[in-house]
A and B are shown apart, each in its own frame.
Chain A
Amino acid sequence: MTAFEIDARQVPFNNGDNILKAALNAGVEIPHFCYHHALGSLGACRLCAVEVKPEQPEQRPRVVMACMEPARAGLKVSVAAPAALRARQGVIEFLMTNHPHDCPVCDEGGECHLQDMTVACGPPYRRYRGRKRTFINQDLGPLVHHEMNRCITCYRCTRYYQQYALGTDLGAMRLRNEVYFGRFQDGPLESPFAGNLVEVCPTGVFTDKVFRSRFARVWDLDTAPSICPHCSVGCNTLPGARLGTLRRVRNRDHAELNRWFLCDRGRFGHQYTEHPERPWQARVRGQTVNYSDALGAALDQLQRAGAAVAGVGSPREDLESNALLQRLIIRHGGFFAAFTDPGIEAATAHAVRYINRMGTPTLAAMEHADAILVAGELTAVAPMMDLGVRQASRNKAKVGVIHHVADPLATLADYDIRLAPRQTSVALKRLQGMIATTAEQSSGDEHGLAQLAATLMHAQHPLLIGVVETLGAYGVAALAKLAQSLGGQAALAYALPGPNAYGAAIVNEDGATQKVLEAVETGKVRCLVVTAADPLGDTRTGWRWREAVGRLDSLIVMDCVDSATVRAADILIPTAAWAERSGYFINYEGRVQCFDRVFERDKPLPASVAVIADLANALDLGAGEPRVAIADLLPGIALPLAGEPGIRLTPRVRLDVPPPIESVAGATGHWQVGLASWYGDDPLADHAAALSSLAPASTATIAPDTARIAELATDARVMLRGPAGSLPLPLCIDANVAEDTVALPRSAMCQIGVGHGGYVELEAMP
């Protein structure tokens, strides 16, 4: 690697680097505003002025913009040179002619790039005598606050929003010193990644509206390295708390995962920790009790039940709680499952095994794919994977999306393939067939599958991404086989159902969920312990759980959010939310990551693992040490500390993949149900007030052609009937829904008792 010099320091650079990029990578500060690692150089702010020493004796030193000047070996650069400093001071003074001097009341204060640069560069005086230009702010919805007078016109926001995140509803308008960054008119920002504006903007134009509603000065925040608990990507975060409450979440750089950004679910989902219905008080059969009484009652029930116990863990529960609960229950002679729906269990187990066998790309690596197939609504399940696909698409990758409802990624796709839920696996098999026998490609094909197959075949770095929850085990296997048929260079990734779904899958025994559910249904279980799961609120199996728990003597529930299961609990032990404890999650890549405790509440709640350990110790089962439980599960792995990049599990022993089971019971209706999800939809973020206010209305959504054939009018109300009951819903007609499919939100599916790909009856209401 070659180098050049900045003020007597040697700075190495890569081919194609500019001076600024090389300097920042080497830890040498050059003041800048418009340059951003993810967005590159623009050359607009003119703050990165540096002096370049002449190469020939007769030349004079030049002041250049470091972000626009290619790095070259032998170059002698000075940041400190008086001419460069003078240029930078000019820029700062010019910017400050319009910037309000309102740092004391500005939310950005303390982490403001403009503040830092002004202090670092000067000038230390203010001589502008004129009026400042002022703007009218916009209401950009519940997540991001707008204060345009603070804008320094660095164009980072529109470059991020439009070019990087491929959003369309925010941009630059007008000219001169009146350039305005906003929407065409007031209204919520549409991008699932809008919250990054808060961090991308170097001043206080875009700030976190949720944080703002309960503000603290940033230097007063308690922080600790954390991991996002809202999906299987496992983005690295830095939550901030003050006076015993969590106030905000910011991005924390992880070179292989989220790097500079987060999705809005990850940034704003934390409000669930402050939800008014959050369980705070332990309860025994309706009576509020203290922790030790609740623990005593639980012990009593477990002892009485003897071996007739079962435990249910969860993909959103940390690794140690799952592992420890499993130990406790098994040692007690009972049944344990880490899932609540046998279909999801099978699909996740298969995905994890395929990842183990075939490897899976990091988020950063996904951006280098040149052809991508996404099977499912990725934005709703693993938003940052969607952002990765967008980067690949910007790098000219061809993208195909197989989806059943309106999907943000599908609108950007080269191949937008809309299929009813149960046709997805069929299509994946067909793609595999096309790739295996090139002959098949010539036959007629109405969905563009043949073109997609050809694109995948001819790609250097094809990438297949599957959404496990909607693919089911069949689809998961079909996608893996498709990847295998593409040969060694194909990459395979799955968006798993939960931040620790991978961990849950390795704790869980195959078929355990079915066994636990049947054991409860048949009365073999007297006492059921559930941690951080909501079996009663499941789409497909919720109604069975709701009936079955009636046969129990006691239902013991630990959770930090309200749910159907929490409400049905005989013994409820509220537990700490993720930022109130530490723990481990294993993300979609099989990366074990540690999240630290960020803060303590005035009245701290116990971590679920601590409750389980208390139970185990009291029962004298010797299962009490969480680290030991994890060590047994992951032999030979030195667990990472919080703030470290995590440890990726190498292939485990259990590699043979059993044939997938058909996970959905037989048809009982004529309409196939598709899950209508969105980027704020997860069991925790559902309780985040600001984010969930953006949730789409609850409707039964069908395609226009389907509506015409079924003679349903736009403004109709329909009655849906499923195994668990019936539900009236307004009808919505949307061309992005697959034919013969009715798209329903999770809550509606739960009420009528049908899962994704299941069948319901639907009729117009008078």
Chain B
Amino acid sequence: MEVVLTPRITPAGPLGLEAYRVAGGYTSLEAAFDLKPDGVIDVVEAAQLRGRGGAGFPCGLKWRLRGSDAPKPRYLICNLDESEPGTFKDRVLLYGDPHQLVESMIIAAYALQVQRAFIFVRGEYAQGASGLTTAIAEAEHAGLLGDNIAGSGFDLRLEVHVSAGRYICGEESALVNALEGRRPNPRPRMPRISAQGLWGQPTTVNNVETLVNVPHILRNGAEWFRNLGIHGGTGPKLYGISGKVDRPCLVERSMGSTARELIYEHAGGPQAQRQIIGFMPGGASTPFLGPDQLDVVMDFEAVAQAGSRLGTGAIIVLDDLSCPVAVVLNLMQFFARESCGFCTPCRDGLPYAAQILSDIVAGRGHVGDLLLLEELCEKIAPYSFCAFAPGATMPLQSSLRVFRDHFEQHLAEGGCPYANRGQRP
């Protein structure tokens, strides 16, 4: 597949404005201004670009539903909070090609007729944020941002906000609260942030990877974009492969590539003499799949059919030296720590589950603990306030299925068999 999003990203560092222009950058602006805002949305819709932040919501539809008559001011926010363990795609886009992001923001803002847009950057990516700030200054200087951009009559102010931290800030309504200077608790589903978001005004939140596709769609057309995908997917996708593989990596491949191709061809497969016992297809909050599911097509519907979620497309691989119970404990401790503390099932239920898991790993498990863990998941996920807790319980719930024998072995042997063998990961 033609590499679209990442060809300009090299170890030499990001391209400056001039070099980015030489490489064809900022040429989509003219196309956008010709198409007019509704025309841009039409093309994005025709390209069938789906959100890359995890939920896969169609981007063009999101923009259309906001409504061209939404009250002003309206805001656009690029979600660059990337905190899902195993996920490192947005970071590469930020550090490697900030001008591509600036160009994308201008076009998205134009399509949505937004005059003030924000890029919400994960706190640990402060250095990337400073590169982005430099790129914005260059663009402003060149008249690509500010008043009357390139003579189009369109004005845009673009601001970078470096997050104060926490995973939950990536959830879009918590992000809006964080940006307003409030506690990063998610907001109720209603009113939607597309109607009443930042400072009560219509707000559109998109993931970085979603946005950076847009200039390429405008340059090359919707059909070209759709054809980049395979097995029913559309466009390119950044897949990260990490965990117990030979060469952990990030690759840009066709949406719809299989997990086997990604793991074996790009990440070198498992380390020598090791067997894959399972993997998470889309980051730490997606259900585990077993080795029999390696041929799953890595697109939204296909992964869902296989019983998991495409999430961020960040594959995490476990081999036969990784204790899945310990991995799940680690994840649950992460999620218990990252809970925003707003609702009871998540705030107090996740540490409860983590406590049971740590008992099991330490050999203090009780008969019935697996049933208890299942019960806890059933009492946490459906009744929590936001999607964090369902995401947090999915790895646990699925591991009780996929790795059942490992759990039972822990209970039967009074602790972690890997630890007993001195080989615990």
A interface, CB within 8 angstroms of B = 43-47, 49, 63, 65, 68, 86-87, 89-91, 93-95, 97-98, 127-130, 152-153, 155, 172, 174-179
Contacts and interface: CB of A to CB of B under 8 A. Distances in A.
A68 B191 CA distance: 12
B355 A86 contact: no
Interface stretch (B78-86, B222-230, B342-350): B342-350
Given A90-B349, A91-B344, A129-B359, A44 B385 contact: yes
Given A176-B340, A178-B341, 8 more contacts: A87-B379, A91-B345, A94-B344, A94-B348, A155-B342, A176-B336, A177-B348, A179-B341
B213 to A, nearest CB: 33
A177 B383 contact: no
Given A43-B385, A45-B344, A95-B348, A175 B339 contact: yes
Nearest to A171: B183
Interface in B327-344: 336-344
Given A63-B383, A87-B383, A129-B355, A177 B347 contact: yes
B273 to A, nearest CB: 38
Given A44-B385, A63-B382, A177 B355 contact: no
A97 B351 contact: yes
10 contacts: A43-B188, A46-B345, A46-B384, A87-B383, A90-B379, A91-B344, A128-B352, A152-B344, A174-B341, A179-B341
Contacts of B168: 175
Contacts of B339: 175-177
A404 B217 CA distance: 66
B342 A44 contact: yes
B303 interface: no
Nearest to B364: A129
Contacts of A98: 348
Contacts of B382: 63, 87
Contact of A94 (B183, B338, B352): B352
A63 B381 CA distance: 12
A615 B382 CA distance: 73
B341 A175 contact: yes
Contact of B347 (A43, A68, A127, A153): A153
Given A86-B379, A129-B355, A130-B351, A44 B372 contact: no
Contacts of A178: 341
B166 A46 contact: no
A444 B143 CA distance: 44
Contacts of A129: 355-356, 359
B383 A91 contact: yes
Nearest to A62: B382
Contact of B345 (A94, A172, A176, A179): A94
Given A44-B342, A47-B344, A129-B359, A90 B337 contact: no
B361 interface: no
Nearest to A96: B348
A89 B375 CA distance: 12
B343 A97 contact: no
Nearest to A88: B383
B343 A45 contact: yes
B380 interface: yes
B380 A177 contact: no
Contact of A97 (B183, B338, B348, B359): B348
Given A176-B338, A176-B339, A179-B341, A46 B348 contact: no
Interface string B15-48: 0000000000000000000000000000000000
Given A172-B183, A179-B341, A94 B355 contact: no
Contacts of B359: 129
Given A130-B351, A175-B166, A177-B347, A153 B341 contact: yes
Nearest to A152: B344
Contacts of A46: 343-345, 383-385
Contacts of A65: 383
Contacts of A90: 345, 349, 379-380, 383
Contacts of B336: 176-177
Interface residues of B, number: 29
Nearest to A92: B344
- Of B188, B336, B349, B355, chain A has the most CB atoms within 10 Å of the CB of B349
A93 B352 CA distance: 10
Contacts of B347: 94, 153, 176-177, 179
A176 B334 CA distance: 11
Nearest to A89: B379
Nearest to A154: B344
A130 B385 CA distance: 25
Given A86-B379, A90-B380, A177-B336, A130 B352 contact: yes
B341 A43 contact: no
Given A43-B343, A91-B345, A177 B385 contact: no
A49 B348 contact: no
Contacts of A176: 336-341, 347, 351
B383 A44 contact: no
A27 B349 CA distance: 31
Contacts of A130: 351-352, 355
A95 B341 contact: no
Contacts of B384: 46
A99 to B, nearest CB: 10
Contacts of B348: 94-95, 97-98, 177
Nearest to B185: A44
Contacts of B341: 153, 174-179
A97 B372 CA distance: 15
A47 to B, nearest CB: 7
- Of B339, B347, B356, chain A has the most CB atoms within 10 Å of the CB of B347
A94 B166 CA distance: 23
Contacts of A152: 344
Nearest to A45: B344
B200 to A, nearest CB: 13
Contacts of B188: 43, 68
Contacts of A174: 341
Nearest to A155: B342
**Lowest 7 A-B CB distances belong to which pairs?**
A90-B379, A130-B355, A94-B348, A179-B341, A175-B341, A176-B339, A94-B349
Contacts of A47: 344
Given A86-B379, A127-B372, A177-B336, A44 B349 contact: no
- Of B168, B344, B356, chain A has the most CB atoms within 10 Å of the CB of B344
Interface in B369-425: 372, 379-380, 382-385
Contacts of B345: 46, 90-91, 94
B19 to A, nearest CB: 42
B23 to A, nearest CB: 42
Nearest to B348: A94
A130 B383 CA distance: 23
- Of A68, A94, A153, A172, chain B has the most CB atoms within 10 Å of the CB of A94
A128 B355 contact: yes
Interface in B223-273: none
Nearest to B166: A175
Contacts of A128: 352, 355
A172 B342 CA distance: 11
A178 B343 CA distance: 12
Contacts of A91: 344-345, 383
Nearest to A47: B344
- Of A46, A128, A155, chain B has the most CB atoms within 10 Å of the CB of A46
A44 B343 CA distance: 4
A152 B345 CA distance: 12
Contacts of B385: 43-44, 46
Contacts of B379: 86-87, 89-90, 93-94
Contacts of A93: 379
B365 to A, nearest CB: 10
A209 to B, nearest CB: 27
Contacts of A49: 383
Nearest to B352: A97
A417 B315 CA distance: 64
A526 B337 CA distance: 79
